[in-house]
């Protein structure tokens, strides 16, 4: 109890700064408008009288991962209402693409009063957390309301595990609240067990991110975009890049242009508020750049195509030959991003040395000769040169075959959730 009080006091002190970062107006960032109240538990009631399954997906990445899962749940039980919460407005924008399949609300801040008000308004029958977004007061209030809590597609890097160890007393408060933790890998399950999660609650289902379905529409749009960019141009994408990484990517592209003057870089910053800054940065470095949102014609002289839209990553990766995955050349700040999307799309994949968030996946891709790891902007341009010298996309083919062989986590996850629900009904 004392630990929870101390945590809540610290959260109260930190809340103004957290909220400032959340609400701060930034270019290309959707506004919260009057819906900011939902963060404090002032939550509108849902349209359905049935108790919903509540899925929490923090931001864009988790929302994208949750999308096929949500569609599969709805397919199994069309009458079951689904409530999705996100913390960010960019996550909300992604969920809005699901239309009438779900209702969206913003996640309340981790204060007991806000969570209680949220639960009173929404009356969920079950909580499913995508990946690992654990908040002590939220879990406690949901558990007290006798609502089962499942962590879906759970992952826990060694770095995150060590961080949780530093606040072990706080983590221990959350352990009794968890019903099931459906892990991506054996390593994730092992780390959760090290933190004290009961082994009986740990199930390895695989990563639902393997079960990416590329629609015919996206494939067609990718082909059309590639025609616009130039079918015979050497085209690579730097996906989900971060501040401090963009300069390295542009330096690599400048070096590449010396030997391949018609090479084209599709540059996609991770955060939409940086789109305008990235356009200016490209110009400052002397590149001829076209923004996707302007729909300007891409000329033979265009050197950088700036992907300044949200939710089109698959489409943009599909239009490239080689994909460099960002978040991997900025030290240990980020730990890389999801390399499964380019793998499913059969693209040659390059990543930087910092990929701890996807360590097991990258290592398995390495074992299957399906990825290249570089350590600097210089080695990035060298690797691009090498791959293009005799380009046959063997790495991409290997990545695709391996990714397809690992699909099935979506079905596993839904089955385990269904089994739990059946057991619960039987025990009543």
Instruction: Report the catalytic residues.
Output: 62
CA nearest neighbour of 170 among 127, 130, 139: 139
CA distances to 304, 415, 427 from 269, in Å:
13, 36, 50
**Quick check: 270 and 337 in contact, CB under 8 A?**
yes
Which residues, 6 or more positions from 425, have their beta carbon under 8 angstroms from its beta carbon? Answer: none
Rounded-to-integer distance, Cα 203 and Cα 357, Å: 19
Give the three-class secondary structure for 149: strand
Contact assessment for residue 90 and residue 310, using Cβ atoms and an 8 Å cutoff? yes
Output DSSP code: residue 167: T
CA-CA distances (angstroms) from residue 344 to 209, 234, 407, 410?
A: 10, 20, 10, 15
CB 325 within 8 A of CB 341: no
Question: Token digits for 260?
Answer: 């391949």
* Distance in angstroms (rounded) separating the CA atoms of residues 91 and 102: 14
Instruction: Name the residue among 30, 47, 37 with its Cα closest to residue 108.
Output: 37
CA distance 407 to 59: 24
């Amino acid at each position: 109890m004392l630990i929870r009080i101390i945590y809540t006091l610290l959260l109260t002190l930190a809340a103004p700064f957290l909220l400032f970062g959340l609400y701060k107006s930034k270019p290309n960032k959707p506004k919260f408008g009057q819906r900011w109240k939902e963060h404090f538990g002032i939550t509108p009631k849902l349209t359905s009288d049935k108790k919903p399954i509540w899925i929490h997906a923090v931001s864009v990445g988790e929302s994208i991962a949750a999308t096929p899962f949500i569609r599969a749940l709805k397919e199994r039980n069309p009458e079951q209402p689904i409530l999705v919460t996100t913390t960010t407005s960019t996550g909300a924008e992604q969920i809005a693409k699901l239309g009438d399949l779900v209702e969206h609300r913003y996640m309340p801040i981790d204060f007991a009063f806000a969570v209680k008000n949220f639960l009173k308004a929404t009356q969920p029958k079950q909580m499913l957390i995508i990946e690992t977004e654990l908040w002590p007061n939220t879990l406690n209030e949901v558990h007290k309301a006798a609502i089962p809590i499942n962590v879906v597609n759970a992952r826990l890097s060694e770095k995150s595990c060590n961080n949780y160890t530093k606040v072990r007393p706080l983590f221990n408060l959350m352990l009794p609240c968890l019903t099931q933790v459906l892990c991506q890998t054996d390593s994730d399950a092992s780390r959760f067990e090290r933190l004290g999660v009961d082994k009986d609650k740990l199930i390895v289902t695989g990563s639902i991110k393997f079960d990416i379905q590329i629609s015919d529409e996206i494939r067609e749009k990718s082909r059309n975009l590639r025609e616009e960019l130039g079918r015979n141009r050497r085209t690579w994408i730097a996906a989900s890049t971060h501040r401090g990484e963009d300069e390295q990517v542009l330096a690599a592209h400048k070096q590449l242009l010396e030997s391949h003057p018609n090479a084209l870089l599709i540059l996609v910053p991770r955060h939409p508020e940086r789109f305008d800054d990235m356009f200016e940065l490209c110009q400052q470095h002397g590149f001829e750049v076209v923004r996707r949102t302007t729909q300007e014609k891409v000329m033979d002289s265009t050197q950088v195509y700036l992907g300044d839209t949200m939710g089109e990553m698959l489409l943009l990766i599909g239009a490239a030959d080689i994909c460099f995955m960002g978040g991997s050349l900025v030290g240990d700040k980020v730990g890389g991003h999801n390399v499964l999307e380019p793998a499913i799309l059969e693209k040659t994949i390059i990543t930087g040395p910092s990929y701890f968030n996807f360590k097991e996946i990258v290592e398995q891709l390495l074992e299957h000769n399906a990825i290249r790891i570089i350590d600097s902007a210089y080695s990035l341009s060298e690797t691009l040169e090498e791959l293009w010298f005799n380009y046959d996309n063997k790495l991409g083919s290997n990545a695709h075959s391996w990714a397809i062989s690992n699909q099935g986590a979506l079905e596993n996850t839904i089955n385990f959730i269904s089994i739990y629900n059946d057991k619960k009904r039987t025990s009543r």
